[in-house]
Chain A
Amino acid sequence: MNDTQEAHANGSIDLYVYLSLIFLTLITVSSSALEWGRILAVTAALAIAAIKATLIALYYMHLKDEGPLTCAIVLTGLTAVAILAFGILPDMAVYNR
């Protein structure tokens, strides 16, 4: 594939990602109107947000083309946030009984 073809292919992927992000946003808003329980509502909204963030990171920030060092930096941040978020949950479960 020459440079022109590659640029064209990348442009198409960028457009598909953009349209997917718009579609997922509309899904998030419309699904929030459904009465499907608290746990499911939170899980669905955050799962869609995670998919959108992954699309942006992989394709717009080109994380899929980055080396192991960059991936390690991102994983360090995500691990720290996961510890913060999930580390307190057992305590919350005890006090919410």
Chain B
Amino acid sequence: MGTTVETQAVRMNARNLGKLGIWLFILSEILLFGGFLSSYVTLRLGSPACRLGEPAWPQAGYTGGVLMATLNTLVLITSSYTVVRSLAATRAGNREAFRANMLATVLLGGAFILVKAFEYSAKIHHGYTMGSEFIAANPGLGIFVSFYYALTGLHALHVIAGMIWNSLLWRAAGGVAMDDRFARKVEFAGLYWHFVDIVWVFLFPLFYLI
């Protein structure tokens, strides 16, 4: 009896400490993206070439870029929902539902990266790269384009990291019990994935719409 209570207490502590750890990690990510975004907003507020409030992208390729970014927003939001469902399935002990939802999450992450690759390709095709003739003719846009690649690229790396994490959980689910310990791992991966979604929620309007 005493041992059971003690074991439960240890598990509770592990859960709380693990969650504290993941929230502290998210804090570091808030500071990372927040610092970049603050610099970006301030820079555009003071820039005559790419003032915040009007899309900075030139007309060529603008509509295509917005469509791809909107599609990616819908993809990422849907993946957040499938993560939520996978955690609910884990807590209900439903292995099949967990695997289906987690697989959907990973595939949606892959779709996001694929669309992003098409978008980068289109932008490079239009000459929106550092050192191109277009940027040489529009020097004020250089810093905007640099921020665009730096921040969307950093975000894409986070999506890839989340895909790897979620894939490992999907794979592990085949051979482990759907218990509290596993649910905790899914919860932590889910917190990270939702944070990555929140970052995109801000990147989307700031880089494509205003």
Interface residues, chain A, CB within 8 Å of chain B? 7, 10-11, 14-15, 17-18, 21-22, 25, 28-29, 32, 37-39, 41-42, 45-46, 48-49, 52-53, 56-57, 60-61, 69-70, 73-74, 76-78, 80-81, 84-85, 88-89, 92, 95-96
Contact = CB atoms under 8 A, between A and B. Distances in A.
B209 A28 contact: yes
Given A61-B194, A85-B38, A92-B42, A7 B88 contact: yes
Interface in B73-98: 73-74, 77-78, 80-81, 83-85, 88, 91-92
Contact of A70 (B19, B38, B41, B45): B19
A39 B124 CA distance: 30
Contacts of B80: 18, 21, 56, 60
B205 A49 contact: yes
B191 interface: yes
Contacts of B66: 29
Contacts of B201: 49, 52-53, 56
7 contacts: A18-B78, A38-B51, A61-B190, A70-B20, A74-B26, A77-B31, A78-B34
A73 B77 contact: no
B37 to A, nearest CB: 8
Interface string B88-132: 100110000000000000000000000000000000000000000
Given A25-B70, A49-B204, A56-B201, A88 B209 contact: no
Contact of B53 (A7, A41, A74, A88): A41
Contacts of B35: 81, 84
A14 B85 CA distance: 8
A72 to B, nearest CB: 10
B30 interface: yes
A80 B54 contact: no
Contacts of A57: 194, 198
Interface in B192-206: 194-195, 197-198, 201-202, 204-206
Given A32-B205, A92-B45, A73 B24 contact: yes
Given A14-B88, A88-B42, A49 B202 contact: yes
Interface in B158-210: 190-191, 194-195, 197-198, 201-202, 204-206, 209-210
B56 to A, nearest CB: 12
A18 B81 contact: yes
B27 A74 contact: yes
